């Protein structure tokens, strides 16, 4: 056999050999996106719980001192609801997993689920205020149409309150008129004027007359904090955004 014929036969054998079948592999699962750090901090961090206990213990001590000689029923505390008393971080987590933010419709659906839970130390503060003879007004920007579901959550967890002042549908979110109504005795919290000895919230707008512009005043703008105003940390959302 000539050399040329041998090479030809080798080429024919190689070309006719069966091709290897690639091994099937499953496509790699997409990496699960982590929720934003702000949500993770609220849901997982011991520091967040420490801050809550710290705020409410300080608020309790200050209230006890302020009302030592005040008649029962003559004074009140005003608190926000969401991220002040109620934990809605599950809503934030669910929306982040969908790559979505807040929307009025999704929030309304969440409120109807009644799955918010009390933040640590909030219930104890409310109970202590009630025991001391104070009135408790919840001033929230949940809509009036969402108020029944909000009351149901408070009642489910036996969270003390005397008035739940939700925002009338279609009105501005400014809480100051409702703060004034509580102080002047024009709310279910009391039919006579009440001295507001403490306000608790997670947003600068939860405190009478304050806004993000308060920062421009420096220290003089924050003299009531730790005395009559008590801020719960909320890195997830707020008027600072």
Q: With DSSP H G I counted as helix, E B as strand and the rest as coil, what are the percentages for the chain, rounded to 5?
A: 45, 15, 40
- Considering only CA atoms, which of 239, 85, 236, 235 is closest in space to residue 150? 85
Amino acid 26: pLDDT? 47
DSSP assigned state of 80:
-
Burial label for 224, CB within 10 Å (0-12, 13-18, 19+), is: middle
- Residue 11 phi/psi, 5° resolution? -65, -40
Q: What pairing do the DSSP bridges indicate for beta strands 117-118 and 163-167?
A: unpaired
In the chain, DSSP finds a helix count (H) and a strand count (E) of 8, 7
* Cα 27–chain centre separation: 38
Tokens found for residue 73: 């029923």
Enumerate domains of the chain plus CATH numbers: 34-231 (3.40.50.1000)
Sequence-ordered list of residues with C-beta below 8 angstroms from that of 85, at least 6 positions apart, any chain: 79, 118, 119, 122, 126, 138, 154, 159
Query: Quick one: which H or E segment has residue 107?
Result: helix 104-113
Residue spans of beta strands (DSSP E) within 4-156: 75-79, 86-87, 117-118, 135-143
pLDDT of residue 19: 53
Position 85 scores a pLDDT of: 98
> From first to last of its 241 residues, what are the pLDDT tens digits of the chain?
455 444 344 444 444 455 544 444 445 444 456 889 999 999 999 999 999 999 999 999 999 999 999 999 999 999 999 999 999 999 999 999 999 999 999 999 999 999 999 999 999 999 999 999 999 999 999 999 999 999 999 999 999 999 999 999 999 999 999 999 999 999 999 999 999 999 999 999 999 999 999 999 999 999 999 999 999 999 999 999 9
* Residue in 89, 97, 102 with CA at minimum distance from that of residue 43: 89
Rounded Cα distance between 91 and 94, Å, is 5
pLDDT of amino acid 34: 80
Burial of 141 (0-12, 13-18, 19+ CB in 10 A): buried
Q: Give the strand pairing for 86-87 and 117-118.
A: antiparallel
């Amino acid at each position: 056999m000539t050399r040329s014929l041998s090479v030809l036969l080798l080429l024919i054998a190689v070309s006719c050999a069966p091709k290897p079948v690639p091994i099937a592999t499953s496509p790699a699962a997409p990496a699960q996106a982590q929720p934003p750090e702000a949500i993770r901090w609220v849901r997982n961090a011991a520091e967040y719980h420490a801050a809550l206990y710290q705020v409410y213990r300080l608020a309790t001590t200050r209230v006890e001192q302020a009302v030592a000689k005040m008649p029962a029923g003559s004074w009140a505390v005003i608190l926000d609801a969401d991220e002040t008393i109620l934990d809605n971080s599950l809503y934030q987590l669910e929306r982040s997993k969908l790559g979505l933010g807040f929307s009025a419709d999704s929030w309304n659906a969440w409120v109807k689920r009644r799955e918010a839970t009390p933040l640590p130390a909030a219930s104890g503060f409310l109970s202590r205020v009630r025991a001391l003879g104070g009135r408790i007004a919840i001033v929230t920007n949940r809509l009036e149409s969402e108020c029944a579901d909000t009351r149901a959550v408070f009642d489910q967890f036996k969270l003390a309150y005397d008035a739940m002042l939700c925002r009338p549908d279609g009105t501005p979110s400014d809480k100051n008129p409702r703060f004034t109504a509580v102080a002047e005795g024009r709310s279910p919290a009391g039919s006579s004027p009440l001295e507001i000895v403490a306000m608790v919230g997670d947003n600068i707008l939860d405190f009478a007359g304050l806004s993000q512009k308060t920062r421009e005043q420096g220290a003089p703008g924050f003299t009531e904090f730790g005395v009559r105003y008590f801020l719960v940390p909320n890195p997830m959302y707020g008027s600072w955004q």
